Structure 1
């Protein structure tokens, strides 16, 4: 076996090892994390279509509604700004969805200034401090749960998680896990 072939083989092993080290914890935490009763629920934003939540965001919102109705928390923070291709903020879309599903307006807190997960959690933490909320349940899709919990812990937020299901599309699910693997790698090197 020549040197070039050995190098390619070693590189392949390193890549596979990195995938295992990064992806397995993402998958495990995304399916094993359990919420505990808290002061609030934080729903992390995702794309909206027109003024309506996308499928991934609806799955998150439905999980938040389930938690709220089950008594896990008496308040919900919806977090997400208006993207360049969105007609309203993600938070406004989420609030509208929650209102139509019976969540009282006074129990919904709007955070509409954040464009990424780090900002979602930083700005939601400020809302928690203003309202004397000490604990939170983060709701996001299973693939996003590990990074969300790590960022929250880095920010000193006392959280648990409640993963929403992934979309039924294998392509979309694989894409989300690959994206999260890359984001976790960046998080390890940059801290956010």
Structure 2
């Protein structure tokens, strides 16, 4: 078992080093989840070995060896059962939250992401159980082959979820060099005129982060970033500025960036406003908690020092919003993910070909 623990130690060191160098990387989540999986595998293996020795004993008979094997099989069955139960609970949770989002936010594909994902997981598990109970071996083998690409997507999803949540918890608590600005990222407006609760929470988080630095002796400017959409009567930046004035800020504390339509444009145009402070002056980004890590990833792509902090998101909306963020990350690395999924689909394709020969 020493080899497993060496691998776990190496992965732990790699995770810690990568996070220390720059925590704004998706692959840190992959390292971290791989570490957890290896440790879990090591623990289960140790338990199986110890259980086998305890039941069989020294100089054991054939009956004792059979009993030890049966005990180990029950432990493995328990681990698999816990995994399946966990997936079922997650699927039901996604369905319930997805229904709530559709009811409160309206019907759209993006609002139905949690509902679709949860339904897909339940359908897959149900098909697996049905194929086993009815002895449909071809269907069962087909589903097993499909677990490879599904596992790849699912592993990435969990890794991204794990590290993005840790990043949001970590980013606002680490001491850094003083920043020159806090950039609040825009979103839609109510009736094209006033900030939504989600956007108000972003502004409040930006103000809070700015005040934290003021207490440390610096005075970063608050940049509210967001252009005017086709159905909006004012720019998002103007609406956010009005809200910030209502929270006690004055004109000299705020700058408006009124041109952006996307997150990348939020950052690019805000950076132009800060050229007098230096092209690489560190900043903080304030956005919603589900969006903070991806905003930080954009910063890293721009080679811009800084970090992102997140405002609270309504619990019912968080799974849908997070799934949307993960899909966006997959799309940003589309070529790599398409190649990986295509390779993992080869056993499934081979099975289909063999079935017709």
* TM-score range relative to shorter protein: 0.7 to 0.9
* Ranges in structure 2 where 5+ consecutive residues have no aligned partner: 1-136, 336-357
- Please tell me whether the aligned partners of residues 52 and 93 of structure 1 are also in contact (alpha carbons under 8 angstroms): yes
The CA deviation string for residues 19-42 of structure 1, in whole angstroms up to 9 with x for no partner, is: 123322222222322264311110
- Please tell me whether the aligned partners of residues 138 and 160 of structure 1 are also in contact (alpha carbons under 8 angstroms): yes
- Please tell me whether the aligned partners of residues 227 and 236 of structure 2 are also in contact (alpha carbons under 8 angstroms): yes
Does residue 285 of structure 2 align to residue 147 of structure 1? no
Q: Helix, strand or coil for the counterpart of 1:157?
A: coil
Aligned length: 188
Q: How far apart are residue 132 of structure 1 and its match?
A: 4.2
Scaled by the length of structure 2, the TM-score of the pair is 0.49
Q: How far apart are residue 131 of structure 1 and its match?
A: 4.5
Aligned Cα root-mean-square deviation (Å): 2.0
Structure with higher strand content: 1
Give the structure, 1 or 2, with the largest relative contact order (CA under 8 Å, sep 6 or more).
Answer: 1
Q: How does 1:161-172 map to 2 (within 5 A)?
A: 161-167=308-314, 169-170=315-316, 172=317
Structure with higher helix content: 2
- In the alignment, the residues of structure 2 paired with residue 137 and residue 69 of structure 1 have an alpha-carbon distance, to the nearest angstrom, of 12
Distance 1:31 1:101, change over 3 A: same
Q: How does 1:104-143 map to 2 (within 5 A)?
A: 104-132=250-278, 134-143=281-290
Name which of structure 1's ranges 106-115 and 60-69 shifts more when overlaid on structure 2: 60-69
Q: Helix, strand or coil for the counterpart of 2:330?
A: helix
Q: Helix, strand or coil for the counterpart of 1:46?
A: coil
Q: Helix, strand or coil for the counterpart of 2:274?
A: helix
- In the alignment, the residues of structure 2 paired with residue 27 and residue 68 of structure 1 have an alpha-carbon distance, to the nearest angstrom, of 22
Runs of 4+ in 1 over 4 A off after TM superposition: none
Q: How far apart are residue 89 of structure 1 and its match?
A: 0.8
* Ranges in structure 1 where 5+ consecutive residues have no aligned partner: none
- In the alignment, the residues of structure 1 paired with residue 153 and residue 303 of structure 2 have an alpha-carbon distance, to the nearest angstrom, of 32
Scaled by the length of structure 1, the TM-score of the pair is 0.88
